[in-house]
Amino acid sequence: MDQIFPYANLVTGILVLIVGFAAHWVAQLISVINWEFATKIGLQEKRMPREFKVYEHAISTADALIGWIYGIAGAGLILNIPWSHKLLWFPGIILLYHGICVWFWMGNQKKLGFQLVTGSFRIIWSSLNLITGILAIIHAWQAG
pTM above 0.85, yes or no: yes
User: Which range of residues forms the domain containing residue 94?
Assistant: 8-143
* CA end-to-end span of the chain: 9
133 located within any domain: yes
69 located within any domain: yes
Sign of CA dihedral 96, 17, 64, 59: negative
73 located within any domain: yes
Q: Is the pLDDT of residue 1 over 70?
A: no
Q: Lowest-pLDDT range, 1-5, 55-59, 91-95?
A: 1-5
Q: Give every CB contact of residue 70 below 8 A, 6+ residues apart in sequence.
A: 16, 17, 20, 21, 24, 25, 91
2 located within any domain: no
Domain tally, the chain: 1
Percentage of the chain beyond pLDDT 70 is: 98
Q: What is the mean pLDDT of the chain?
A: 91
So what's the pLDDT on residue 103? 92
C-alpha to C-alpha distance for 102 and 133, rounded to whole angstroms: 13
So what's the pLDDT on residue 88? 94
32 located within any domain: yes
38 located within any domain: yes
